[in-house]
A and B are shown apart, each in its own frame.
Chain A
Amino acid sequence: MAASTQTAQQVQELADDKYKYGFVTDIESETAPKGLNEDTVRFISAKKNEPEWLLAWRLKAFRHWLTMAEPTWAKVGFPEIDYQDSYYYSAPKGSDDGPKSLEDIDPELLATYEKLGIPLREQEFLAGVAVDAVFDSVSVATTFKSKLEEVGVIFCPISEALEKCPDLVKKYLGTVVPYTDNKHATLNSAVFTDGSFVYIPPGVRCPMELSTYFRINAKNTGQFERTLIIADKESYVSYLEGCTAPMRDENQLHAAVVELVALDDAEIKYSTVQNWYPGDENGKGGIYNFVTKRGACRGRNSKISWTQVETGSAITWKYPSCILQGDNSVGEFYSIAITNNCQQADTGTKMIHLGRNTTSKIISKGISAGRANQTYRGLVRMSPKAEGARNFTQCDSLLIGNECGAHTVPYIESKNKTAIVEHEATTSTISEDQMFYLRQRGIPPEAAVALVVNGFCREVLQQLPMEFAVEAQKLVGISLEGSVG
Chain B
Amino acid sequence: MNTIEANSVVMKKLLIFTVVMFAFGFALVPFYEKICEVTGLNNLLQADTLAENPQVDTTRWVTVELDANIQGLPWQFKPLQSSLRVHPGELVEVMYEVKNNSDREINGQAIPSYSPQLLAKHLKKLECFCFSKQVLKPNETRQMPVQFVIESGLPTDVNTVTISYTFFELAGANAANLVTKTNQS
Q: Do A and B bind each other?
A: no
